[in-house]
Amino acid sequence: MNTQNIISRKQNGIVQPLLTDLYQITMAYAYWKTGKVMDNSVFDLFFRKNPFQGEFTIFAGLEECLKFLEAFHFSESDIEYLKQTMPSVEDDFFVFLSNLSARDVVIYALDEGTVVFPRIPLIRIEGPLIVTQLLETTFLTLVNYASLMATNAARYRIAAGNSKLLELGLRRAQGPDGGLSASKYSYIGGFDGTSNVLAGKLYNIPVKGTHAHAYVTSFTNFSELHTRILHSKNDGKPYDFVQLAIKWRSELGPLFKVVNAEVNDGELAAFISFAMAFPDQFMVLVDTYDIERSGLLNFCAVTLALNDLAFQAIGIRIDSGDIAYLSYVAREYFSKISTKYEIPWFKDLIIMASNDINEETILSLNDQGHKINCFGIGTHLVTCQKQPSLGCVYKLVDLNNVPRMKLSQDVAKVSLPGRKDAYRLFSERGDALIDLLVQTDEEPPSVGSKILCRHAFEESKRAYVTPSKVEKLHKLYWKDGLICRPLPNLEEIRDNVTRSLKSLRSDIKRNHNPTPYKVAVSDNLYSFLHNLWMESAPIGELT
Ligand SMILES: Nc1ncnc2c1ncn2[C@@H]1O[C@H](COP(=O)(O)OP(=O)(O)OP(=O)(O)O)[C@@H](O)[C@H]1O
Ligand SMILES: O=P(O)(O)OC[C@H]1O[C@H](OP(=O)(O)OP(=O)(O)O)[C@H](O)[C@@H]1O
Ligand SMILES: O=C(O)c1cccnc1
Ligand SMILES: [Mg+2]
C-alpha cells in the first residue's frame, strides 16, 4: 500500500457502514429473519435528469465507493450501538452482521470522469441482497455530490475557455466534508487548483492563493514596516525596498493621473511587506480602497521595484466592481508600463477576478470582452447554487435471475429491468452518437454493423446506427473482495473528463438550450421491458 492510499483512507474516516439510513439495517434484519440472506440481487445506480439545465453529467465518486467496500465491516462499537438502537432485534442477527463483508459483491462501473447521461447505470451492484441493500445510501452519498460537483466544475471549465480556474469555496461549503469534496471534485472537473490546503495535502491538488482585504487594512503607514531591506535576486546586494517602491510610485503618478495624496499609504505598505515576504510570487488584492486611483498604482510601483531587484511579479486580484471594465483598465496600464520601461512580461501579468462569480457571469464577461486570465470561484461552485442535488437513485433490477421493475405513473420513474451493459457508439467523425443499453446476455453492438436503437418508452422513436467505434462502458471493478482494475489517480480522472467531453458535440455542451444526447435500448431490451411491463401492470376495470 502506498502513502497516498493510507492518507486517503484516513480522510475517509466518516465513510463507514453506519453512514446509512436506519431503514437499510431494519430491512437487513427483516431479510435475515425471512431467510432472504442468500438471495442474489442486481441493483443499478443511475440518475434521471442531467443537472443545471444541461444535457451532460460527469460521473465521479467511484474510487470512494470501492474504498468503502474494501473496509466494509461493522465494528464492535457499531454493533453495540445498533443493539441499543434496535432493542427488539435478536442477538444472532448481530453475530451475522459483525461477520458481514463485501467479499461476495461484484461491481461493474463506468470509469470515473466519464461523461454520462440519464438512465445509464453508472454502477451495477451484484451480490447477496442483504449486503447490496446495505450499500445503497452510502454509495448514493458518495456519488451524488461528487458527480454534481465535477459536472458543475466542468461547466465552469467550458465557460472559462483558456482562463485559469481557482476554487476558493471552503469557507462557504456545506461543512468540512462538503468543502473537501468540493475541492477534490472541482479539480477533477477541470479547475487548476484550490485554496484548500488540506485538499492539497490529501489529494495532491495544486494549492494557490492571494491574501484577504484584512492584510491591506491592517497597515496604515510605512512606519509599520520593520524590515526595509530586500536583497537583489541577481547579485544578493541589499536595497532599501521601501524607498525604492515609494520612488517608483512618485514616478508613475503622472501616468495614472493621480497625485500622491490620493493614493493610500497603508495599501502601499501592505504591498511592500507582502512583496518582501514573497518576492517571487507577488500577487495582491487591488480593490481595498480604489482600484484606479490607488490599488493599481501601488501594485505597479512595487512590481517595478521588484523588477529592479530581478524579481518578476505574478499579478493582481480584483474582488469588486465591474470586473470586465476594471480588467481592461488594469491591462492597459500593464501594457503602457511594459512598453515604456521595456519589460515584456509586464503586459502579461495575471489579472484574477473573484466575488460571487458563477457560470453565467463568466459567459456574460465573454460577451462583453475582458482581460481576465484567472477566475477565483467559491460560493456558487461549491454549493452548486443552481441545483443542489443530482438525484441519483439505486434500484433493484433483478433478484435470483428474475428481472424486477418498479412501475410508476410517471414514465421517467419506471426502472429498466435486468442486467444491462452500456455501449457508446461513435460516428465516423469520432464524436459520440448514442449510448445503447443491451441485456448482458445479448450480442454486443459491433463496429460496422447496423444496430436498431430504440427509445425505451416511445415506440415510434428509433433509428439505425452503424458505429465506426464502439466503447463498452461497463467494466468489472470489484470481485472476490478486491478492486480488480488499477485505479486512476486524480490527474488521470481529470484527463478522462477532458477526453470524454471532447467526444461530445458542442451543441450538447452549450449553456443555452443544449441538444439532448440520445440514450437508447436495444430491440431485445425494448421487447423484454415492455413484455414485463404488461405482465406486471394490473389491468384496470371500468365501472
Ligand atoms: N462586468 C460584469 N458583468 C457581469 N457581472 C459582473 C461584472 N462585474 C461584476 N459582476 C458581478 O456582479 C456582482 C456584483 O456584486 P456586488 O454589487 O455585491 O459587488 P460589489 O459591490 O462590486 O463588491 P463588494 O460588495 O464586495 O464591495 C458580482 O456577482 C460580480 O461577479
Ligand atoms: O465570492 P465567492 O465566489 O464566494 O469567492 C470567495 C470569496 O471569498 C473571499 O472573500 P469573502 O467573500 O469572504 O469576503 P468579501 O465578500 O467581503 O469579499 C474572496 O474575496 C471572494 O470574494
Ligand atoms: O487566496 C485567495 O485569494 C482566496 C482564498 C479564499 C477565499 N478567497 C480568496
Ligand atoms: Mg465575497
Mean pLDDT of 448-476: 96
Which atom number of ligand 3 is nearest to the Cα of residue 352?
A: 3
Residue nearest to atom 13 of ligand 1 (CA): 356
Q: Is the pLDDT of residue 6 over 50?
A: no
Q: Cα separation of 475 and 491, whole Å?
A: 20
| 358 CA to centre of ligand 1 in angstroms | 11
Q: Is the CB of 24 under 6 A from ligand 2?
A: no
Give start and end residues of each alpha helix (H) in 71-109.
76-85, 91-98
How many angstroms from the chain centroid is the CA of residue 6?
Answer: 22
Residue whose C-alpha is closest to residue 419's, from 79, 94, 44, 154: 44
ipTM attached to this prediction: 0.97
| 211 CA to centre of ligand 3 in angstroms | 6
The residue whose CB lies within 8 Å of the most ligand 1 atoms, and thus the one to mutate among 216, 320, 327, 351, is 320
Q: Are 470 and 447 in contact (CB under 8 A)?
A: yes
| 491 CA to centre of ligand 1 in angstroms | 33
The residue whose CB lies within 8 Å of the most ligand 1 atoms, and thus the one to mutate among 323, 362, 380, is 323
Which atom number of ligand 1 is nearest to the Cα of residue 354?
A: 31
Q: Cα separation of 486 and 171, whole Å?
A: 34
Q: Is the pLDDT of residue 9 over 60?
A: no
Which atom number of ligand 3 is nearest to the Cα of residue 209?
A: 1
| 358 CA to centre of ligand 2 in angstroms | 13
Q: Which domains does the chain have, with CATH numbers?
A: 22-156+387-536 (3.20.140.10), 210-372 (3.20.20.70)
Residue whose C-alpha is closest to residue 425's, from 399, 408, 444, 412: 444
Mean pLDDT of 403-414: 81
- Residue by residue, DSSP assigns 419-464 as -EEEEEEE-TTS-EEEEEEEETTSPPP-TTS-EEEE-SS-TT-EEE
Q: Is the pLDDT of residue 371 over 80?
A: yes
User: Three-class SS of residue 111?
Assistant: coil
Q: Over pLDDT 90: what percentage of the chain?
A: 92
| 377 CA to centre of ligand 2 in angstroms | 8
Q: Are 372 and 323 in contact (CB under 8 A)?
A: yes
Residue whose C-alpha is closest to residue 147's, from 171, 112, 179, 178: 112
- Lowest mean pLDDT, pick from 1-15, 303-317, 469-483, 507-521: 1-15
Q: Is the CB of 172 under 6 A from ligand 2?
A: yes
Q: What is the pLDDT of residue 263?
A: 94
The residue whose CB lies within 8 Å of the most ligand 3 atoms, and thus the one to mutate among 195, 319, 374, is 195
The residue whose CB lies within 8 Å of the most ligand 3 atoms, and thus the one to mutate among 168, 287, 382, is 168
Residue 196 cell numbers, joined? 484548500
Q: Are 200 and 207 in contact (CB under 8 A)?
A: yes
* Placement of cell 496604515 in the chain: 220
Q: Cα separation of 179 and 156, whole Å?
A: 18
Q: Is the CB of 488 under 6 A from ligand 3?
A: no
Residue nearest to atom 22 of ligand 2 (CA): 355
Q: Over pLDDT 70: what percentage of the chain?
A: 98
Which atom number of ligand 1 is nearest to the Cα of residue 319?
A: 26
Q: Cα separation of 265 and 304, whole Å?
A: 17
pLDDT tens readout for residues 102-142: 999 999 999 999 999 999 999 999 999 999 999 999 999 99
Q: What is the pLDDT of residue 52?
A: 98
Q: Angle 241-256/323-340 helices, nearest 10 degrees?
A: 110
Q: Cα separation of 243 and 501, whole Å?
A: 53
Compute CA distances 168 → 187, 196, 375, 382, 493, whole Å: 12, 7, 10, 9, 21
Q: Is the CB of 168 under 6 A from ligand 3?
A: yes
Ligand nearest to the Cα of 287, by number:
1
Q: Is the CB of 319 under 6 A from ligand 2?
A: yes
Q: Cα separation of 192 and 203, whole Å?
A: 13
Q: Cα separation of 265 and 278, whole Å?
A: 20
Q: How confident is the model at residue 261 (pLDDT cuts 50, 70, 90)?
A: confident
Compute CA distances 303 → 234, 251, 296, whole Å: 16, 13, 10
pLDDT tens readout for residues 493-503: 999 999 999 99
Q: Angle 296-308/241-256 helices, nearest 10 degrees?
A: 130
| 168 CA to centre of ligand 2 in angstroms | 8
How many C-beta neighbours within 10 Å does residue 454 have? 22
Ligand nearest to the Cα of 380, by number:
2
Pairing of strands 451-454, 462-465: antiparallel
Compute CA distances 368 → 160, 357, 372, 427, 503, whole Å: 13, 15, 12, 36, 29
Q: How confident is the model at residue 456 (pLDDT cuts 50, 70, 90)?
A: very high
Q: How confident is the model at residue 538 (pLDDT cuts 50, 70, 90)?
A: confident
Q: Cα separation of 231 and 236, whole Å?
A: 5
How many angstroms from the chain centroid is the CA of residue 361?
Answer: 19
Secondary structure of 7-18 as H, E, C letters: HHHHHHHHCCCC
Mean pLDDT of 467-483: 98
Q: Cα separation of 187 and 100, whole Å?
A: 35
| 319 CA to centre of ligand 1 in angstroms | 8
Q: Cα separation of 276 and 421, whole Å?
A: 60
Compute CA distances 377 → 132, 387, 459, whole Å: 38, 16, 45
Residue whose C-alpha is closest to residue 11's, from 293, 272, 203, 244: 203
The residue whose CB lies within 8 Å of the most ligand 3 atoms, and thus the one to mutate among 354, 374, 379, is 354
| 156 CA to centre of ligand 3 in angstroms | 18
Neighbours of ion ligand 4 (CB under 5 A): 355
* Placement of cell 509586464 in the chain: 346
